[in-house]
Amino acid sequence: MANILIIDDSRTSRKMLINILVNAGHTIAGEANDGISGVEMYKQLKPDIVTMDITMPVLDGIGALKQIMEYDASAKVIMVTAAGQQSKMVEAIKIGANDFVTKPFDPDIILSIIDNILR
Amino acid sequence: MFTQFCGHYLIHKNLLTKEQFDEIAKSESQTRVKLGLIAVSERFLTDSQASEINRLQATMDRRFGDLAIEKGYLTHEQVACLLDLQGNPYLSFIQTVIDKKYLTLTEIEKALTDYQKEFQMSDEDMTAIKSGDIDKTASAFIKIEEPYYADLFGLALRNIVRFITPRIYMDKVYQTNAYSFAHLSSQQMQDDHNVFLGIAGEGNALLSIACPFAQEEFATVDEDVYDAVCEFINVINGLFASELSKQKIEIDMLPPLFYSNQTMKSNKQFYILPVYITGVKVEIIISIDYDFEII
């Protein structure tokens, strides 16, 4: 089981994801609603895994991912996006993201990705 | 979907009460449309021919179609056609209304004729609406020649049916260059095209989307409601962006925004589609490649 930090400017999206993760037995390290606080929370909480929304104001998911990877090259980050953002996904993987999930969330896919990361 | 269109029109014309409509909506899925009614509706049989076959059925325990063929009233091909139509939502609705003795077939058909005249629908439009198919129905209400609008409106409608409820109907799309609203959730996309997709509603209308999408019981429109509708819009836009990317057209999603008690203005007219979700009106607003401001 993993301790997971959720970074997403949408409360709806965070809640949906938390429900899936908690029901599967994972714990929530914390929630951040923008990239800047997300990076700070990563440094403080040192979660096992981060879920990172791509489209956020001020500091988007790509920017926050870069900062987290610079701070901790072993960070495990799953990017979260709507469909149609393939170029952003490719960029995120090149920066160091482990995988990505698209909205609307498919619980089986999310949990399978987390299991793969934990192995 | 046809039930929603026709039912609400009949309520509007005081031909049905809301309670009667709710009964119809609840029970119509359990109603098997009788072949005789379909045959009369399709003008394959007269009323008296259908009644004659029905009387014979009661005494001979034979299928309607077989009897009608023996009497020379229908061909094999016509019976096959009628059997195909038995699953038709338009006919299912009519059957339910008649079974419950709310209206006669003549009264329903008159109301549909009035509807067609009042909303200036073509025969093809009415066939599309009667089909119950969301894309065919949408084509009757969304006639826009400029590219991408019909695609994005259609995508929004299909996602409402998928994620919110199939109990929707719509009015014809219209254009304006100034639109005042109480509550608006929206998202823009930019790059090869600048696209604005918004959903607006008066009072608590946005709850009709926010509650089922977020699976939460919101009481009034607040930031969480705006956020839930924004997330729904984000899903729609993502699918739209995905489709465009297959055509090598790139658009990038910006963070969603919401507004209250403001006006959207443009130097060009943008499009608005009124949609009724379980009877609650929201409006889908789309502007593509036009400048606008929200003040």
Is residue A23 exposed (0-12), middle (13-18) or buried (19+ Cβ within 10 Å)?
A: exposed
Cα–Cα distance for residue pair A4/A29, rounded to 1 Å:
5
Q: What is the pLDDT of residue B95?
A: 87
Instruction: Residue B79: name the closest of B88, B66, B62 by CA.
Output: B66
- Asked whether residue B8 carries a pLDDT value surpassing 80, the answer given is yes
Q: Do A83 and B242 touch (CB under 8 A)?
A: yes
CA atoms of A93 and B31, how far apart (whole Å): 53
Question: pLDDT per residue over B52-102, tens digit each?
Answer: 888 776 555 567 888 999 999 999 999 988 887 777 778 888 888 998 999
Q: Which residues of B touch A81 (CB under 8 A)?
A: 238
Q: How far is B74 from chain A (nearest CA, A)?
A: 50
Q: What is the arithmetic mean of pLDDT over B222-237? A: 96
Reported as a single tens digit per residue, the pLDDT across A59-116 is 999 999 999 999 999 999 999 988 888 889 999 999 999 999 988 888 888 999 999 9
What's the whole-model pTM score?
Answer: 0.83
ipTM above 0.95, yes or no: no
Residue A81 contacts B where some CB pair is shorter than 8 Å? yes
Confidence at residue B29, expressed as pLDDT on a 0 to 100 scale: 56
What is the percent of chain A where pLDDT is above 90? 84
Q: Any idea where the domains of chain B sit in the sequence?
A: 2-131, 142-294
How far apart (Å, rounded) are the C-alpha atoms in residues B247 and B244? Answer: 5
Angle between the N-to-C axes of helices B149-163 and B207-214, in degrees from 0 to 180, rounded to the nearest 10: 60
Tell whether B227 is within 8 A of chain A (Cβ): yes
Q: Do A55 and B228 touch (CB under 8 A)?
A: no
Q: Which stretches within A5-103 are classed as H helix?
A: 11-23, 35-45, 61-71, 86-95
Q: Give mean pLDDT, residues B201-210.
A: 98
Task: Collect all residues of chain A within an 8 Å Cβ-Cβ radius of residue B213.
Answer: 12
Cβ pair A85:B238 closer than 8 A: yes
Check residue B30 and give its pLDDT.
Answer: 58
| Contact with chain A for residue B211, Cβ under 8 A | no
The percentage of chain B sitting over the pLDDT mark of 70, rounded to a whole number, equals 96
Enumerate the H helices of chain B as residue ranges: 2-12, 18-27, 35-41, 47-60, 64-70, 76-85, 89-99, 105-118, 123-131, 134-141, 149-163, 207-214, 223-246
Q: Give the Cα separation of B109 and B16 in Å (integer).
A: 14
Closest CB to B239 among A9, A10, A84: A84
Fold of A17-50+59-81+99-104: Rossmann fold (3.40.50)
Q: Which residue has the higher pLDDT, B35 or B72?
A: B72
Q: Chain B residue with minimal CA distance to A57? A: B255
Q: What pLDDT is recorded for position B60?
A: 54
The span from the CA of B100 to the CA of B22, in Å, is: 12
User: Would you kindly state where each structural domain of chain A is located, as residue ranges?
Assistant: 17-50+59-81+99-104
The pLDDT value given to residue B153: 96
pLDDT > 90? residue B209: yes
Per-residue confidence band for B32, with pLDDT thresholds at 50, 70 and 90: low
- A59 → chain B, closest CA residue: B255
Residues B7, B10, B12, B15: is their CA dihedral positive or negative? negative
Backbone angles phi, psi at B122, to 5 degrees: -80, 170
Higher pLDDT, A83 or B14: B14
pLDDT band at B145 (very low <50, low <70, confident <90, very high): very high
What does CATH list as the number for B142-294? Answer: 3.40.1550.10
Determine the 3-state secondary structure of B144 from DSSP.
coil
